[in-house]
């Protein structure tokens, strides 16, 4: 039983970490553009970044299930290159979780970036600093609270995601099953002891995530 629980915790953490990485890679440049750049299609980009928040997660999962299907364009390319499909793997679950949590992480990043005084950026540009240096040496340090908050929210949302992941990744013990889907199975079988045990793991992971977040904020003041 302990080894099975460790696998569930590992699957949950692995999926949430991968989901957070995916969301961060996409959210950082988009949030930067939305805050510091002006362009005509800005409202369209903002609309699509917030859209997953208003959709039931099962719709996101079902859409990904179709996209990853070998019968459709992207899924067929992946199948031709790898000989397999992403659907019903932990990777698919992580991608689904990253989409569901994306509106939360990008809004946190945007809030962090709004703390940056644009006059400082203008001064840095006038002194000849490159955009890369301005981003890494000025924008990121000033925005760190918003960025850390976004990472925490994304990780916590991903580790607790259920609807989208169970549709696109399934609930296969030892493979794609994580704490959330295992708790669902326990509820379905009315196994009270297992529900309490698995739920306690989820609570401990949440407490640990928040503690690490608060420690980093205190450490890097």
Q: Which residues of 177-188 are buried (b: 16+ CB within 10 A; e: fewer)?
A: bbbbbbbbbbee
CB atoms within 10 A of CB 13: 18
The structure tokens listed for 216 are: 């980093």
Q: If you write DSSP's letter for every residue of the chain in order, what string do you get? A: -HHHHHHHHHHHHHHHHHHHHHHHHHHHHHHHHHHH---TTHHHHHHHHHHHHHS-HHHHHHHHHHHTSTTSHHHHHHHHHHSS-STTSHHHHHHHHHHHHHHHHHHHHHHHHTTS-HHHHHHHHHTT--HHHHIIIIIHHHTHHHHHHHHHHHHHHHHH--HHHHHHT---TTTT--HHHHHHHHHHTT-HHHHHHHHHHHHHHHHHHHHHHHHHHHHT-
Q: What is the pLDDT of residues 38-93, one digit of tens each?
A: 888 899 999 999 999 999 999 999 999 999 988 888 888 988 888 888 999 999 99
CB atoms within 10 A of CB 205: 19
Residue 219's pLDDT is 73
The structure tokens listed for 153 are: 């929210």
| Range 167-178 average pLDDT | 93
Q: What CA–CA distance (Å, rounded) separates 79 from 74?
A: 9
Residue 130's pLDDT is 87
The structure tokens listed for 186 are: 């326990």
Domains of the chain: 14-176 (1.10.3720.10)
Q: At what angle do helices 42-54 and 90-113 cross, to 10 degrees?
A: 130
Residue 1's pLDDT is 65
Q: Is residue 37 scored above 80 in pLDDT?
A: yes
Residue 88's pLDDT is 92
Instruction: Work out the pLDDT band at 213, boundaries 50, 70, 90.
Output: confident
Q: What is the pLDDT of residues 78-115, one digit of tens each?
A: 888 888 889 999 999 999 999 999 999 999 999 999 98
Q: What is the pLDDT of residues 107-161, one digit of tens each?
A: 999 999 998 988 888 888 888 888 889 998 999 989 988 999 999 999 999 999 9
Instruction: Work out the pLDDT band at 220, boundaries 50, 70, 90.
Output: low
39 CA to centre of own chain: 26
Q: Is residue 218 scored above 80 in pLDDT?
A: no
Residue 117's pLDDT is 87
């Amino acid at each position: 039983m302990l080894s099975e629980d460790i696998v569930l915790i590992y699957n949950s953490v692995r999926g949430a970490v991968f989901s957070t990485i995916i969301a961060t890679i996409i959210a950082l440049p988009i949030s930067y553009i939305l805050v510091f750049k002006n362009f005509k299609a800005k409202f369209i980009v903002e609309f699509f970044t917030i859209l997953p928040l208003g959709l039931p997660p099962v719709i996101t999962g079902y859409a990904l299930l179709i996209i990853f299907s070998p019968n459709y364009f992207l899924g067929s390319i992946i199948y031709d290159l790898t000989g397999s499909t992403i659907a019903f793997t932990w990777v698919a679950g992580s991608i689904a979780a990253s989409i569901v949590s994306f509106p939360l992480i990008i809004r946190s990043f945007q809030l962090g970036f709004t703390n940056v005084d644009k006059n400082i950026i203008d001064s840095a540009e006038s002194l000849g600093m490159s955009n890369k240096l301005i981003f890494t040496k000025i924008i990121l340090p000033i925005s760190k609270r918003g960025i850390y908050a976004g990472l925490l929210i994304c990780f916590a949302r991903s580790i607790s995601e259920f609807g989208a992941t169970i549709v696109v990744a399934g609930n296969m013990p030892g493979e794609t099953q994580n704490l959330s889907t295992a708790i669902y199975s326990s509820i379905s079988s009315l196994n009270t002891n297992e529900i309490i045990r698995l739920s306690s793991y989820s609570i401990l992971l949440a407490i640990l995530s928040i503690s690490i977040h608060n420690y980093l904020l205190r450490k890097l003041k």
